[in-house]
Amino acid sequence: MDRKTAGFISFGIIIFIVYAFGLHTFEAIWSFPSQRAVPLMVLALVGTGIYATIKLGFPQIKYLKHGINVTKGVYDDPNDEGDLNHFKALTTALSATVGIGNIAGVATAIYYGGPGALFWMWVTAFFGTTLKYAECTLSLKYREMDALGKTAGGPMYTIENGLGKNWRWMAVSFASFAVICSFATGNSIQSFTVSDQLYSEFSSILGSTNFLMIKHEIISGFGVSLFQFIIGILMAVIVGMVIIGGISRIGNFTGYLAPFMALIYVVSAGLIILFNIDKIGYSFGLIFTMAFDPPATIAGTGGGILMTMLWGIKRGLYSNEAGQGSAAIAHSTAKTKYSVREGAVAMLGPYIDTLIICTMTGLVIISTGAWKHTEYFVKISASSIDEMDQALNAGIYQGRELFNSSLLTSYAFKQGLSFLFSFGDKIVTLSVLLFALSTAIAWSFYGNRAAVYLFGEKAIVPYLYVYVFFTFVGGIAELEAIWAFGDAALGIMTFPNLISIILLTGVLKKMTGEYFSKEHVPVR
């Protein structure tokens, strides 16, 4: 069966399952089934990361310095096959991961799972670094070149070319969910977060009764304001203007935007941490304590340590995409004759994304006391179930308004930077806008490549139209629905990638040994 036919069948099956059984059928991989203490996704992601780390001898430690040197460009050879140099390949991948996951994702993890969720984000990142190395190295090895000399790579090619044609069904499955995931985590969540953040900002300026801000009920329980509608259109237009240019324009755009936006955010977070340096020790204490010993009331409401672990790993995966396979599509465009070389570069992603930027966000939220404006704090502090339910329904507890997603981070930045100025939350608003645009633009390439794998080059234009449309849809969507959609697609596309890593670990180990047994002389 050819890829196109298999692709149509795959999408047909997915649509039928969603229609017949609902989206929760796919989302269940993150849940706690009665027959299993730990969610399947947690077992698969962390388990594969630990296995690959031991099998390859902790590459995230041994080869980190080499990855830094490669990223600096000392081994760059313009004559090597590929589309982007090592630095631009990394920034393209980072632009998809350094984003809403660092702002809204961390906040959501703490909102539901408490400070301890940050620890499990670290665990996901550490072992995920090996997964990044594995998936990106293999994608370089098994990538293809089209008639114009452009690269075509990613887990779908790794599966088909590395495991053989009999595994095409799994490659098609990955590509199908990669397309769906690009519509969800790639752009809908990005435009939703921008819309939600800007709506909150302008509501405080114009007032909730302004004609732009009034939400009109479209269907029962779902309302949209004219402001959100406008933001959705603007996001769609901006994203559409950039992605039409292909990977070269995307690489140039992200090569400048990703470092700039990260610098603004990191410097601001760093100032808050320095100002609250006396509380950082206490903050780390909360992280470690609540990671392994959450209060009894949390366990009583369903999950305890497992719930904290779940939210940390979910948002850890969303933050750095390690094991998901998406970043491998960007890294497979690198100009290099050595697959392992780009794999070493890819390892820098989780370090930058989760271990540095997400940690800074978490410390800002905890050290400023903003974490007390969360559902988690309500659950551990309420004197009764009735008091808890009443607070959660009202969105207020002990005089504190409850904040989720990027609004929690905004509140933390406003409080944390109040010693300098009163508009610290505006930095988060700017970061959300830049991060979201960058992520949406980078993910368009991921979904584009997956669509081409399935249906050929003719699929590019229709895909881009649908992608731009979902950018608009995200701007008017609701939080729970859009995150559920994203989590489901993100989780399921991860499984084929993890299976290919496990089956090809022997090949990867041999490649690694051969590469590092040679002397690598810098080109410049």
> Position 222: which residue type?
F
Most confident residue range from 205-214, 300-309, 472-481: 205-214
Helices (H) and strands (E) in the chain — how many of each? 28, 6
What residues contact 272, with CB distance under 8 A and at least 6 apart? Answer: 364, 367, 368, 412, 413, 416, 417, 424
Q: Check whether 134 has a pLDDT greater than 90.
A: yes
- Kindly state the DSSP code that residue 35 receives in the 8-state scheme: T
Q: Check whether 313 has a pLDDT greater than 50.
A: yes
Q: Check whether 296 has a pLDDT greater than 70.
A: no
Residue 35 has a pLDDT of: 47
| pLDDT grade for 38, boundaries at 50, 70 and 90 | low
Region 237-257 average pLDDT? 65
Cα–Cα separations (whole angstroms), residue 448 to 193, 242, 356, 460 = 23, 14, 30, 6
Most confident residue range from 272-276, 314-318, 467-471: 272-276
Q: Check whether 297 has a pLDDT greater than 60.
A: no
Q: Check whether 249 has a pLDDT greater than 60.
A: no
Percent of the chain with pLDDT over 90: 34
Rounded CA gap, 335 and 88, in Å? 10
The mean predicted confidence, pLDDT, of the chain is 84
| pLDDT grade for 73, boundaries at 50, 70 and 90 | confident
Q: Check whether 61 has a pLDDT greater than 50.
A: yes
- Extract the tokens encoding 21: 């059984």
What's CA 216's distance to the chain center, in Å? 31
Backbone φ and ψ for 242, nearest 5 degrees, come out as: -85, -45
> Position 7: which residue type?
G
> Which one has a higher pLDDT value, 447 or 436?
447
Rounded CA gap, 97 and 99, in Å? 6
- Extract the tokens encoding 138: 């293999």
Region 233-242 average pLDDT? 84
Residue 302 has a pLDDT of: 44
* Topology given in CATH for the domain delimited by 3-511: Amino acid/polyamine transporter I (1.20.1740)
Question: 166-175, 193-202, 298-307, 332-341: lowest mean pLDDT where?
Answer: 298-307
Residue 299 has a pLDDT of: 43
pTM of the prediction? 0.83
CB atoms within 10 A of CB 457: 11
* Pairing label, strands 396-397, 222-225: unpaired
Q: Check whether 37 has a pLDDT greater than 80.
A: no
| pLDDT grade for 31, boundaries at 50, 70 and 90 | low
> Which one has a higher pLDDT value, 431 or 524?
431
Residue 229 has a pLDDT of: 87
